[in-house]
Amino acid sequence: MASVNQREKNSQPKSNKKLVIRLLWLVVAAAVFGFALVPLYNVLCSVTGLNGKTNNTADLSKTVVDKNRLVTVEFTSTVMPGLGWDFYPQQNRITVHPGQVETVNFLAKNVTNQPVVGQAVPSVSPGQASLYFKKIECFCFQHQELKPGESKVMPLRFYVSPSLPQNIGTVTLSYAFYSVNK
């Protein structure tokens, strides 16, 4: 009995060490998986439009206007903390045929006494519709700078792709304007 016990005592630490190392690898794998979820999520989103990001470049040449269908497009705007602007769309909603190119103006005014640079970030709801919302020209494509007290009309030219799923009748486009600290 005693000798069996002695033998176990000697072999124990070694096999413990092996198991500990394996488990540590498991920890590392879990950590890597956690970080890998970031690109995986982005890929998933760009394929499915899950998070409402609109990163599509418009290709006008192939677009046919679908006169038999009407889609309501709504606009909302948010000024994020730290950006001293007024910012709102000139019209809250518009009804368009899929494929029809429209222009909507947003108004921005710097109400502070110093020049401010901002960046608008768009988001489309429902998320699935983001794949079918095509922007031709947008103030969100680059940074916008406003001098103290300056107002600016910011146009958005867009169309809704005719392949928008039939069950979606209303698309909401939301802009959040962030300040760009330089």
Partner 1 sequence: MSSQATVHHDHHDDHHPTGIMRWLTTTNHKDIGTMYLVFSLIMFLLGGIMILGVRAELFQPGLQLVKPEFFNQLIGVHALIMIFAALMPAATGFANWMLPLQIGAPDMALPRLNNWGFWLLPPAAILLTLPFTLALFGIGDGAIATGWTFYAPLSVQGGIGVDFAIFAVHLLGVSSVLGSINVIVTILNMRAPGMTLMKMPMFAWSWLVTAFLLIATIPVLAGAVTMLLTDRHFGTHFFDAAGGGDPILFQHLFWFFGHPEVYIVLLPVWGFMPQILQTFSRKPMYGYKAQVYSLWAIGILALVVWAHHFFTVGMPVPALLYFMYSTMSISLPLAVLFFCWIATIWKGSLTFETPMLFAIGWIVLFGIGGLTGLVLADVAADAQYHHTYFVVAHFHYTLFAGGIMGIMAGVYYWLPKMTGHMFSERLGKLHFWLTAISFNLTFIPQFFLGLAGMPRRIPDYALQFAEFNMISSCAAFVLGLSQLIFVYNIISCVRGGKKATNKVWEGAEGLEWTLSSPPPYHSFTEQPVVK
Kindly list the residues in this chain that would bind partner 1 in the complex (CB under 8 A). Answer: 1-2, 5, 12, 15-16, 19-20, 23-24, 26-28, 30-31, 33-35, 37-38, 41-42, 45, 48, 50-53, 80-81, 119, 121, 123, 125-128, 176, 178, 180
Nearer to partner 1 among residue 41 and residue 141 (C-beta): 41
The distance of closest approach from Cβ of residue 6 to partner 1 in the complex, given in angstroms and rounded to an integer, is 11
The distance of closest approach from Cβ of residue 51 to partner 1 in the complex, given in angstroms and rounded to an integer, is 5
b/e map of 92-106 (b: 16 or more CB within 10 Å)?
A: eeeebbbbbbeebeb
The tokens for 55 are 């990163």
Least Cα distance to 77 among 131, 140, 127, 128 occurs for: 140
Nearer to partner 1 among residue 20 and residue 153 (C-beta): 20
Nearer to partner 1 among residue 12 and residue 91 (C-beta): 12
- Residue 61 phi/psi, 5-degree rounding, is -60, -35
**First and final C-alpha spacing in the chain:** 76
The distance of closest approach from Cβ of residue 144 to partner 1 in the complex, given in angstroms and rounded to an integer, is 13
The distance of closest approach from Cβ of residue 27 to partner 1 in the complex, given in angstroms and rounded to an integer, is 6
